[in-house]
Amino acid sequence: MLDFKNIAAQVLNEHIESMSIEEINDNFEVPKYSHMGDLAFPCFKLAKIFRKAPKMIAEELAEKLNKGENFEKISAEGGYVNFTISKAILAKEILVKIKTEKDEFGSSNLGNDKTTIVEFSSTNIAKPFHIGHIRSTMIGNSLYRIYKFLGYDAVAINHLGDYGTQFGKLIVAFKLWGDKETIENDPIPELLKLYVKFHEEAEINPKLDEEARMWFNKLENNDNEAYELWKWIRDESLEEFNRVYKMLGVHFDSFAGESFYSDKMPAVLEEMRSKNIMKKDQGAEIVDLSEHDMPPALITKQDGSSLYITRDLAAAFYRKKHYDFYKNIYVVGSQQHLHFQQWFKIIELMDHEWAKDCIHVEFGTISLEEGSLSTRKGKIIFLEDVLNKATEQTLNIINEKNPNLENKNEVAKDVGVGAVVFQELSNNRIKDYTFSWEQTLSFEGETGPYVQYTHARACSVLKKADSKVELDVDFSLLNDERSVEVIRALNKFSEVIISAADKNEPSIITRYIVDLAQEFNRFYHDNPIITDDKELTKARVLLVDAVRQTIKNGLYLIGLKAPEKM
């Protein structure tokens, strides 16, 4: 496909010798309004060189530049030189590319097989997979797909919370009040009851906390009874979690959780001691980070047992050695900001330059309309219940509006689950939000079902056209305002994906496919696809197919299915 930005840069370079083609290329912007053109070059940096006002420079350049066959207009707007790409050439370039590349449209070899680790979801064993987990799970899943699509050797890791004092608490609770058969019949809810009961009883009897710490210490020291109970709880929990991951279409390359690194901590601790990173403090070991405006980081407790930070350090060193990562991304809530800043700094203090390649992708909190989520108090909404309810409501809508739909149960699942996921990824990830059944299950407005329905509508149009999608069309026929706007939107897709990766922000793609769907529906409203003019019909059918393919690719990148019928 022609690189219009590079072509425009070459045209400008003939009159701006002080800037290289690469520099000019890097300075291009997209005009705020489409009537202003497709590319805008700011002239503000040229003011000192030409000793003129940017507006005057832009006007003089626009008059001098040779637009050639690729641009139908070069004009000045304020301090910018705006380039309008030939409608027919742009239509041909983008529509041929989409038809040729199909499911690969928008992908690239930008990553060039560099390994990028994305750690996400990281649910806690024996605790509910609740609505609060959807943020890390779906943001991470989308980033994993985006990086893979851009040619990175992406690795999806679920750093399970399968270690720590919580297991001491569960072991104590099970031994006091638990029943194995009852738990195996309904693992997570029953384990949650034990966890809640432990905290209720510990408020009355603080000695229970001491007993829990003792059992976790036993687990760290390979006590057989502690290990067997831990393994049983872990296996039962994973079976439950995997059912939800399957509903969400989420894949992991590794489930190496905190426990995996238990035998890898000693080497890291020894290196820290040998480099005088740590010091003793009342029997515990800490890293003093006061020089870096952070509180001290507790690395080992008085009894020698580990903490989250100890295991995170061991995990990072293992991943660097095992994967030699280019990026090591952690999709974890913003509440953990200090935790990540501390141990990233510790790796830096240990003189490992790859500390800069560890990235904390933060996201805001989720709360219930009646208050904050709390596992200890049993105040949660199971994610599986949300997904099932969304699927059930979607099926009710289908039975009302399209009862004879083929595979309606499967479509209901794709659309219902998609509605929940899309709502999660529709806003900037750093924003806090309150979970609402009404908002999540709404099928109107800028929602997942709206975009999926637009895809299904495009599929329906293509079926009605009952003709092969051809590339041998007259692209100059796609010159009306609505067709041009759709083509311009399609042309942005590749850059949108790169931007989403650069900012680790899936909502950029979510916003894009909503805009594309709206643009297509305006085009569909104003332009009959099947007409008496065979050449015009062929051109419009190709455009419809390009929109269908691009929406499908965009939905995939945020973890949604693209139903062909709804």
What residues are labeled active site? 127, 130, 133
Sequence-ordered strand ranges (E) for 36-143: 39-42, 71-77, 80-85, 115-119
CA distances from 404 to 48, 285, 396, 461 (A): 69, 67, 13, 19
For residue 538, give the H/E element and its range: helix 534-557
Long-range contacts of 12-21 (CB under 8 A, 24+ apart): 12/41, 12/61, 12/65, 12/81, 15/61, 15/64, 15/65, 16/46, 16/61, 18/46, 18/49
CA 515, CA 30: separation in Å to the nearest integer? Answer: 16
Question: Residues 6 or more apart from 491 whose CB is under 8 A from it?
Answer: 38, 90, 94
CA 193, CA 180: separation in Å to the nearest integer? Answer: 13
- Which two tokens mark 3? 């690189």
CA distances from 318 to 122, 219, 375, 493 (A): 17, 22, 31, 36
Within a 10 A sphere around the Cβ of 422, how many other Cβ atoms? 26
3-state secondary structure 236-270: HHHHHHHHHHHHHCCCCCECCCHHHHCCCHHHHHH
Looking up tokens 């690969």 gives 104
CA 299, CA 169: separation in Å to the nearest integer? Answer: 21
Beta-bridged to residue 84, according to DSSP, are: 73
**352 and 272 Cβ atoms separated by less than 8 Å:** no
Strand 327-331 relative to strand 297-300, pairing? unpaired
Question: Residues 6 or more apart from 333 whose CB is under 8 A from it?
Answer: 135, 136, 362, 363, 364, 365
Long-range contacts of 274-278 (CB under 8 A, 24+ apart): 275/349, 275/350, 275/351, 277/346, 277/349, 277/350
DSSP assignment string, 498-510:
HHHHHTT-THHHH
CA 95, CA 117: separation in Å to the nearest integer? Answer: 34
Question: Residues 6 or more apart from 224 whose CB is under 8 A from it?
Answer: none
Within a 10 A sphere around the Cβ of 218, how many other Cβ atoms? 17
Looking up tokens 């390359």 gives 253
CA distances from 415 to 191, 223, 467, 549, 563 (A): 31, 48, 28, 18, 8
**291 and 337 Cβ atoms separated by less than 8 Å:** no
CA 475, CA 539: separation in Å to the nearest integer? Answer: 7
